[in-house]
Structure 1
Amino acid sequence: MSSQNLKFSLNNLQNEFGVERIETAIAAVEKFEVEVPSWIFGQFGGGRFGDYMPPGFARDIFEKLDDAALVNELTGASAQIATHTLWDFSDDGLDATFDKAAEVKKAAEARGLRLGSINPTYFLQGSHTGSLSSYDDAVRERYVEQTILSGKIAEELSNKLLSLWLPDGSNYPGQLELTKLIDNTMDSLKRIAKQVPESVRVLIEYKVFEPGTYSTVLADWGSSLLMAQAFGPNAGVLIDMGHHYHSTNIEQIVARLVTMKMHGGFHFNTRYAADDDHSVEPNPEMARI
């Protein structure tokens, strides 16, 4: 668009909405940033059923930081990077350490980046019985402790934001007791809440299905809302744009949460085939929201 057309369009907007409102909007856009997830640079090729990996994928967190720095250089609006605790702060995928997180923070800053939301990793080895809802006390304890560590990392090394997504659910009727899964999850979150400082914002994400094919513990905004309310005043609901049934009115969900003065956040995603298609183009719902 030519500068003349831009000026014409700007004048039209100012005439319609007023100069002050347009200047406020422009200032907000100039400060707007999108947090980039570290895992998008890793081994994610081939979809669910293929093993193709595009060349040049990042092999560790430091190569992910290199890629994220390039994206920020190109866009000027993505200096913050989200990390996954067991992918990025662990050497074996089982146990993370605060020292490794501190090393990653230092490496990020050397590349002009800063750590954003910290995401506990609930879906690696040992999670087939669930994570925070697991019937196995040892498994549940492991994930509770990982979440508490993630809260410490969020408090001391990042932007004080903890993002939780649980893969917990079941594959067929009768496999697991649904009420027990809910009770275990709520109990785990209450235990975590006692150890995570209130200065840390905790957002609880939902997903309509997957990996469980029959039931999902946190399948909708209402289930996440209940867990957030049980957690405490520093908790809220994370809305992933790709985690809904087709035709779901996401704007109405946002309106409900805003009315309840609930903390919130967004993951930009799509749901062309089912849900969670991982496409990165802008979502039409965002304009309506």
Structure 2
Amino acid sequence: MTQRIDKALIAEQNAKLEGYVKQDYEALGNQLARQGINIDDITAKAELFQIAVPSWGTGTGGTRFARFPGIGEPRNIWEKLEDSAVINDLSQCTERVSPHFPWDKVDDFTELKGFSDELSLKWDSINSNTFQDQAGQEHSFKYGSLSNTSQESRDLAIAHNLECIEWGQALGSKTLTVWVGDGSNHPGQQHFQHAFERYLDSMKKIYAGLPKDWELHIEHKMFEPAFYSTIIQDWGSNILAAMELGPQAKSLVDLGHHAPNVNIEMIVSRLIQFKKLGGFHFNDSKYGDDDLDSGSLHPYQQFLIFNELVDAEYRNQEGFGPNYMLDQSHNVTDPIESLMNSAASVQRSYVAALLVDRPALTEYQTNNDALMASNTLKKAFTTDVSPILAMARLRKGGAIDPIATYRASGYRQAVAEKRPNSGGNGSGIV
């Protein structure tokens, strides 16, 4: 039997806090009304906000040195969906799950789709995996996949992506995300142009197999595992590849895949402008692709990114409709708690960006009033929108305090008895 959070427990926990939430909501509503903002309009938008959970994120991650398994880890996609359902039951903003193949491959995708329907979950972007060899794989990806000098290896990588599209269709997804670790670790190891040509040739074959109502999202990463050069190393190579492939190809932005101090919000603006923003992998980082909880280190940067996204929404920008997804690795926290925390953090940035006085900001920008333009953004950012987030969850049947309710449920301890630690890793990641 599928383990869930008892709705009665959610109601019981909410009853303890509902009075305080209403008081705080009323106070914030009065504050926003003085600015000409209707709090209920903002809350309605907060209720519509959704961000996908990565299937692999429900398990415990690791480092290059070791992995320390968590208790009750999901061992397969079925148990990953159970955990994802709990996250959505409590947060009410994570109804979509993004799978990774072949980690999440099953024998019967119709059965898997039925199970996700039972849990009221939908499927987000399908992620392919050609950055590691699978058991019994005939042609290796050690020296690359879609750009490998070996035609046999390239054909294998192409076939896997086309297979991912078929599986995605069975689940009801409409997006394929392709990230490859292709590149080089030594100067002179690889001819840069020839490698990129091979990559584009392979991607064109995948693009040709894309259904008409699908998008192909290209994910870039500055380094790792290729440390000297990477095929799709930044947004420049990313958008060039997307433009070469066609209108259904777009760029995906992972917040941890950039050089230090890069202006990610400006990159987002450029991609929006040229109708090439496909979506996001939200996380945070200190040194590189750390996959830390979203907003844990750079909440203002996250807000500034959403300032660009909400601006495009405000201006009804043509071709705008990106996918939002979390992409994290949890080593010292309960993955369910971290994913709920991150979902709320991203939702918080979205709501705060809705509070920006855009006519005033435009006027300050036009008049080159740098101080007041900056202060306009900071005013929205420093507004505590917690009552809006809590009210949005309450109205949708979620938990006012998701983590406290989750801990009160004893869910982790309950699933630990059903999921004994095998020493392996069902999430797929290292």
Q: TM-score, normalising length from structure 2?
A: 0.61
Q: Shift of residue 266 of structure 1?
A: 0.8
2:24 aligned partner, one-letter code: N
Distance in 1, matches of 2:64 and 2:172, equals 31
Provide the secondary structure at the position in 1 that maps to 2:226: coil
Which segments of structure 1 move beyond 6 Å, counting only runs of 4 or more? none
Three-state SS of the structure 1 residue aligned to 2:177 is strand
Identify if the C-alpha distance between structure 1 residues 165 and 17 changes in structure 2 by more than 3 Å, giving closer, same or farther: farther
Q: Which of 102, 111, 124 is 1:86 aligned to?
A: 102
Contact 1:170 1:216 in 2 (8 A): yes
Residue of structure 2 in register with 1:37 after alignment: 54
CA distance in structure 2 between the partners assigned to 1:2 and 1:73 by the alignment: 19
Equivalence map 1:170-209=2 (5 Å): 170-209=184-223
Q: Which residue does 1:150 correspond to in 2?
A: 164
User: What do you get for the CA RMSD once the two structures are aligned?
Assistant: 1.8
Give me the whole-angstrom Cα distance separating, in 2, the residues matched to 1:5 and 1:230. Answer: 51
Alpha-carbon deviation of 1:17?
Answer: 4.1
Contact 2:145–2:154, Cα closer than 8 Å, also in 1 = yes
Match of 1:103 in 2: 111
Counterpart code for 2:44? A
CA contact (8 A) 1:225 1:237 kept: yes
- Partner AA of 2:282 in structure 1: F
Q: Alpha-carbon deviation of 1:18?
A: 3.6
Kindly provide the amino acid, as one letter, of the partner of residue 34 in structure 1.
I
CA shift, 1:53, in A, is: 1.6
- SS of 2:250's equivalent? strand
Quick one: percent identity of the two aligned structures? 35
Deviations 1:114-165 (A, max 9, x none): 2211001111212212111111111111111111122233334223011111
Task: Say whether the 8 Å CA contact 2:181–2:226 is kept in structure 1.
Answer: yes
List gaps (5 residues or longer) in structure 1: 91-98
Q: Which amino acid aligns with 2:132?
A: L
Deviation at 1:189, TM superposition (A): 0.9
8 Å Cα contact 1:170-1:176 kept in structure 2 = yes
Distance 2:255 2:36 in 1: 29
Amino acid at match of 1:121: N
Q: Larger RCO: Structure 1 or Structure 2 (Cα < 8 Å, ≥ 6 residues apart)?
A: 2
What's the CA shift for 1:227?
1.0
> Superposed, which structure 2 residues align to 1:1-289 within 5 Å?
2-19=21-38, 23-42=40-59, 44=61, 46-89=62-105, 100-125=108-133, 126-273=140-287, 275-282=288-295, 283-284=298-299, 285-289=301-305
Give ranges in structure 2 of 5+ residues lacking alignment. 1-19, 134-139, 306-430
SS at 2:34 equivalent: helix
TM-aligned CA distance change 1:5 to 1:108, over 3 Å: closer
> Structure 1 residue 2: deviation in Å?
4.9
Q: C-alpha offsets along residues 1-47 of structure 1, whole Å, 9 cap, x if unaligned? A: 6533322222222331443xx54432221011110000112352x32
My pick for the range that moved more, 105-114 or 81-90, is 105-114
Question: Does the aligned pair in 2 maintain the 1:240–1:268 contact within 8 Å?
Answer: yes
What is the DSSP-based 3-state SS (H/G/I as helix, E as strand, rest coil) of the residue aligned with 1:77? Answer: coil
Change (3 A) 1:24 1:210: same
Q: How many residues align?
A: 277
Cross-structure match for 1:94 = none
Alpha-carbon spacing, 1:17–1:137, altered in 2? closer, same or farther (3 Å): farther
How far apart are 1:197 and its partner, in Å?
Answer: 1.4
CA contact under 8 A between 1:203 and 1:236: conserved in structure 2? yes
- Give the residue type in structure 2 aligned to 1:88: D
Distance of 2:154 and 2:231 partners within structure 1: 15
SS in 1 for 2:124: strand
Q: Is the 8 A contact 1:151 1:200 kept in 2?
A: no
Q: Distance in 1 between matches of 2:40 and 2:249?
A: 33
Distance 1:205 1:252 in 2: 17
The superposition leaves residues 192-233 of structure 1 with CA deviations (integer Å, 9 ceiling, x where unpaired) of: 111111210111111111111111111100111011112211
Q: How far apart in 2 are the matches of 1:188 and 1:277?
A: 29
Does the 8 Å contact 2:110/2:170 carry over to 1?
A: no
Q: Is the partner of 1:245 in helix, strand or coil?
A: coil
CA contact (8 A) 1:69 1:112 kept: yes
Which SS does the other structure have where 2:102 is aligned? helix
Alpha carbons 2:146, 2:202 under 8 Å: kept: yes
Alignment-derived partner of residue 95 in structure 1: none
Return the alpha-carbon distance in structure 2 between the equivalents of residues 233 and 117 of structure 1: 17
CA distance in 1, matches of 2:259, 2:53: 25
